[in-house]
Structure 1
Amino acid sequence: MDHPVESEMSQHQRNLVDLCLEEGQYEAAIDILAQLRSPNHKPSSAHVRQLLFMALYSAGDRGQDRPRVDLSASPSKRQKRSHLLPSHAASLASQQLLVSFATTNTPAAVIRPLRPSDPEPEDDNECFVATESMCISRCKNCWQILVEGFLDRNQPLLSTPKAKGKRRGDTSFTDLSEVRAPIGETAWSILDWLLLLFERDERANPTLPRHSPLLLEQLGSPARRDTDPPLAIILHCLQQSDERRRMMGSRLMNLLINLSFTTQLDFPMLVVSVFNRLSTSSLDDISSLFDNLSPSLAVSKFKIALYQRYFGESSDAPRIATGVRPKPQVRAQPKGSPTKIPDPPQPVSLVNRHRVPSSAEILRLMKADLTTPVNPAVSAFRIKFELLVSYNLFQTLAAPADVDPEWPNLLRTGVLEETLDAVFGCKDATAAGECATYRILLDTILISDC
């Protein structure tokens, strides 16, 4: 169902919110915005930006208030500034309202202050949160606002009227040499909000294969896509003990994989980037990341390519030739013959054409050794197990034209079972250990499918 056309909130509605913000009545302003929320009216870009500022300025930042106060200011000004800082209740209310907007309005309308392609109009409101939140509009992408201490690092530009005219990317940091976590403690709710927007954008996008154009915008220009920031976030999520935070890493990975399944993002580049970051991680962490991904064709293809890297293999070769074909010559119609109506143009496929290995290649890898240096704790048997399971799922989900006809034959004729016996050992109900476990699981997953 199509989303209703969204118009801007009226000037009168925006003024009601701005008046409360100017007086430091943040919770009242948030309450008014919540009442004005409607699928027919999108929130102003400035108000979303100010909500983001208040949401990021939550309880974890309270200990950083002192360095942010200008000691050269008079005591009355310092007291006024302290009074204007968002309360913990205002921060929580901002986080909740951002999620409400994300579920009510279109993702493109809500994420406007963070879109590189959609410069925010000049904000004529000079209240405290309007001025302080301008650092968000100067970011090159959404990942920058998540970095640990983002608001504190932008302190030199805060409260500077001239900074309002700066372009995106002009954000200054107090100490570029200091290594910061890609997600600050106060930014987890914002990451969750961004993932919600990208996932809704992906579902609403009519172009197949499904992907999020809004996420693609956050990866830089078509000439140079940069996946390092989101991959750093994914790795940071993996290191968390909180299951919900780990799940955010899987959600972001799923979105990136779906993008790489199209021609919009370089598939081999993403595979190599992920492998380089994860090859030193334990396979339990990698499995934890991938187990939470949707069992889709895109995910299966990506996992196959990733596990190939452990054998020094790659799937860079395209399935079809890329050479220039000679231009077909138009044949003249014989006189008196009816004019043939040309077929309607077929839609251009956006599916990347990087090939999946053949069944014969998979069997060869089963007998090969790992050639890429990896974490010593990574088991070759586990890699081979994961590769086989991913390959079988791909063959199950793929369109008939992409299925290797030899794969079901290997299952039916027993050739695959013989290979499993040679690699993992023969089936034995009394056997124990890693190989026996994988052998039993593979027998259940693969052999039972034939």
Structure 2
Amino acid sequence: MVSDSSHQNPQECEMTRNQRGLVETCFEEGQYESGIAVLEQLRSESFKPPVSLVRQLFYIALYPPPPSLDHVEERDLNPASPSKGSPTKTKHQAPKMTFAPSVNASEAAQRLLLSFVRTNTPTSLFQALPQPGKSDELPFESDDHDSVVAKESLCIKDAKHCWAILKEGFVPRIKISQPSLLAGKKRRGKLIANTEEYIEEKYSDSVLAPVAEHAWLVLQWLVELFQRDESLASGDGSVKHSPLLLLQIPSPRSGTGLRWEADAPLDIVFYCVSQGQPQRRQLGLELMALLIGICLTAEFDFNMFLEQVTSRLYSATPEIVQTFMSGFHLSRSAQLFKLALCRKFLSDESGGRNPSSRRPKPQARAVRAARGAAAAREQNLSFTSANDSSASFSASKISMPPSGDIVHLLTGPNGRTSPAIITVKKELLISYAYLQQIAEQRDVEWQQLATDGRLEDQVNSVFGGESYAQQDRDALISLVRVWAMN
């Protein structure tokens, strides 16, 4: 069983009640930028921020900006006519304020979250995220509900997983009908606000994006959190992974077996690589590298994950396939995964499988019972932590195929060709050559293919027939000649 208790900083203490109160007072009065500034001043490696305040930061960071034609939606509440009332009454009238976060407050919250992930331990910050499959182990004090954002931020705790909070429309704009001060609260005002579950009209006729336009920095925060956790968890094992990221993959509903539900983060990965901005594409590739790390652990169903990725490649555009396949890290684990992915993609294509029916179905997991004693032993293993020894155990299942298999996939009849198939064949060769170069024992047949000219001939044959493959052919021939000299 995966444990999330590792990587605690023994010197990281809870913030004092007075420190927390300074921030809460600002938030209760709707002064979010001031509260965020105070929290920034309190940020320290010695003090971890309270879970409720980090959750409120998420809510503020994810709060959608106002529609372009309605910038005063929540700010001009019951404006007083200048011709009515005496100057004295106007002077003593309570100032108009909004309890909905402003754009400036959202940007400040995003910056502070990124600062926290670079200061405090991943485990302490992780507690503010949704916890799949966990009961509420962190009861909320009554003070947590003193502000509008404290109450509204509970939607983050109740989300299915951390990926859900990024989705377009997850945090709706606060719809305020009438401001009112609650009786008995003289020191702090409370606004009666109503957050209706609605989606802006602009969303009604379109599929909601897995990452809202204003949520990209929160996605960056998640990636940096899991990368730091992966770095802290790294031991002597051959495969690095983030134990906290593994916890965001739900356990099977049956309570037994391997984790496999990675559709949500994979949707985000492929959405990222479809973006025009290089930074967003890179963010998706970094998330994919993290997912590869956990898919190689003994608690994750590697074959199901491979199927999920392959099905997305079949429905992707050639440009997305090119961006995705060329973005893998130059590490043994990443290249082994890419090699397995290329082999599956080309094997299924040559076998005539219908891409439209490739989406994995959860009920298909029942066949695991027939996979023998080794599979049963793997499922029954009890882990006290997601460490690198477990990762190494599962990574050993990905073996290097003989060069003959690679040549067969490269030259075998695929029934058709396309830019996507050409890209996958190119990446198949590149990954296999890289793994051969770093292997302790190289495949003798591969060396002979590269040195006697046969591999160059095969590249000319496969990549020379289509005009869109000419550039790939020229690049591969240059690489083959380099491989022949190594």
Give the TM-score, by structure 2 length. 0.71
State the partner residue of 1:136.
Answer: 156
Per-residue deviation, residues 358-385 of structure 1 (Å, max 9, x unmatched): 22211222221226x88x43244x4322
SS at the partner of 1:113? Answer: coil
Change over 3 Å in CA distance of 1:26–1:172 after alignment to 2: closer
Q: What is the aligned-residue RMSD (CA, Å)?
A: 3.7
Retained in 1: the 8 A contact 2:456–2:477? no
1:104 pairs with 2:119: yes
In structure 2, which of residues 35, 40, 47 is the aligned counterpart of residue 34 of structure 1?
Answer: 40
Q: 2:413 aligns with which of 354, 369, 372?
A: 369
1:384 aligned to 402, 425, 435, which one? 425
1:341 is aligned to none
**Aligned ranges 1:233-252 → 2 under 5 Å:** 233-252=268-287
- Could you tell me how far apart the structure 1 residues matched to 2:220 and 2:472 are? 39
Match of 1:253 in 2: 288
Q: Is the 8 A contact 2:63 2:101 kept in 1?
A: yes
- 1:218: which partner in 2? 248
What's the CA shift string for 1:316-353, capped at 9, x where partnerless?
A: xxxxx9657xxxxxxxxxxxxxxxxxxxxxx6643331
Structure 1 residues 172 and 361: alpha-carbon distance in aligned structure 2, compared to 1, 3 A threshold: farther
**Aligned partners of 1:94 and 1:221: how far apart in 2?**
31
> Structure 1 residue 427: deviation in Å?
13
CA distance in 2, matches of 1:242, 1:413: 40
Of residues 252, 263, 269 in structure 1, which corresponds to 2:304? 269
Q: Deviations over 1:287-318 (max 9, x none)?
A: 3223333201111111111111233269xxxx
Q: CA deviation at 1:67?
A: 8.8
SS at 2:234's partner residue? coil
**Please, which moves more after superposition, 281-290 or 138-147?**
281-290
Q: State which drifts further: 146-155 or 14-23.
A: 146-155
CA distance in 2, matches of 1:367, 1:14: 65
**Residue 414 (structure 2) pairs with residue 396 (structure 1):** no
- Measure, in 1, the Cα distance between the counterparts of 2:173 and 2:25: 29
Aligned counterpart in structure 2 of residue 281 of structure 1, from 294, 303, 316: 316
Match of 1:195 among 216, 223, 239: 223
Other structure's SS at 1:190 match: helix
Aligned residues: 395
**2:258 is the alignment partner of 1:228:** no
Quick check: 1:301–1:390 contact (8 Å CA) kept in 2?
yes
Is residue 134 of structure 2 the alignment partner of residue 122 of structure 1? no
Q: CA deviation at 1:139?
A: 0.6
Match of 1:328 in 2: none
Equivalent AA in structure 2 for residue 127 of structure 1: S
Matched, 1:93 2:108: yes
Q: Which amino acid aligns with 1:201?
A: D
Distance in structure 2 (CA, Å) of the matches to 1:229 and 1:445: 40
Q: Deviation per CA, 1:94-134: give whole Å up to 9, x if none.
A: 11110110000011111212141474321422211111111
> Counterparts of 1:103 and 1:55 in 2: how far apart (Å)?
17
Shift of 1:433: 3.1
Tell me which residue corresponds to 2:353: none
Q: How has the CA–CA distance of structure 1 residues 441 and 310 changed in structure 2, closer, same or farther, with 3 Å as cutoff?
A: farther
Secondary structure of the 1:433 match is helix
Cross-structure match for 2:355: none
Which amino acid counterpart does residue 443 of structure 1 have in structure 2? V
Q: 1:88 to 1:436 in 2, by over 3 A?
A: closer
Q: Which residue does 2:382 correspond to in 1?
A: none
Q: CA deviation at 1:182?
A: 0.6
Amino acid at match of 2:293: N
Q: Deviations over 1:51-75 (max 9, x none)?
A: 1111111535676889999xxx999
Aligned partners of 1:425 and 1:439 also within 8 Å: no
State the 1:17 CA deviation. Answer: 1.1
- Secondary structure at the aligned position of 1:84 is classed as coil
What is the aligned partner in structure 1 of residue 326 from structure 2?
Answer: 291
Indicate yes or no: 2:167 matched with 1:147.
yes
Could you list the runs of 5+ residues in structure 2 that have no partner in the other structure?
1-6, 81-93, 180-194, 350-370, 375-388
2:228 is matched by which residue type in structure 1?
Answer: R
Pairing 1:316-395 to 2, within 5 Å after superposition: 323=373, 349-352=392-395, 353-370=397-414, 376-380=418-422, 382-395=423-436
C-alpha distance in 2 between matches for 1:197 and 1:447:
42
Kept in 1: contact 2:60–2:109 (CA 8 A): yes
Q: Give a deviation string over 1:231-289, Cα, whole Å, max 9, x none.
A: 11112112211111111111111111111222232222111111111123234322322
- State whether residues 154 and 173 of structure 1, in contact with CA within 8 Å, keep that contact through their aligned partners in structure 2: no
Residue pair 1:366, 1:384 contacting (<8 A) in 2 also:
yes
CA contact 2:306–2:341 (8 Å) conserved in 1: yes
Paired residues of 1:6 and 1:41 also in contact (CA < 8 A): yes
User: What residue identity is the alignment partner of 2:420?
Assistant: V
Deviation string, structure 1 residues 198-251 (Cα, Å, up to 9, x no partner): 111111103532101111111111544311111111121122111111111111
Q: How much has 1:435 moved relative to structure 2? A: 6.5
- The answer to whether the 8 A contact 1:385-1:442 is kept is no
TM-score of the superposed pair, with normalisation by structure 1: 0.77
Structure 1 Cα separation of the partners of residues 49 and 399 of structure 2: 44
Distance 1:204 1:420 in 2: 44
1:153–1:256 distance in 2 versus 1, CA, 3 Å? farther
The residue type equivalent to 2:327 in the other structure is N
1:421 corresponds in structure 2 to: 457
Q: Quick check: 2:36–2:112 contact (8 Å CA) kept in 1?
A: yes
Of the structure 1 ranges 97-106 and 302-311, higher mean CA displacement relative to structure 2 is found in 302-311
Contact 1:21 1:29 in 2 (8 A): yes
Distance 1:323 1:51 in 2: 48
Which of residues 178, 182, 186 in structure 1 aligns to 2:210?
A: 182
SS at match of 2:347: coil
- In the alignment, is residue 448 of structure 1 matched against residue 485 of structure 2? yes
Q: 2:340 aligns with which of 278, 297, 305?
A: 305
Change (3 A) 1:66 1:112: farther
| Distance verdict in 2 for CA 1:261–1:227, change over 3 Å | same
- 1:110/1:435 Cα in 2 relative to 1: closer, same or farther (>3 Å)? closer
Following superposition, the deviation at residue 415 of structure 1 comes to 6.7
Which shows bigger deviation, 187-196 or 85-94?
85-94
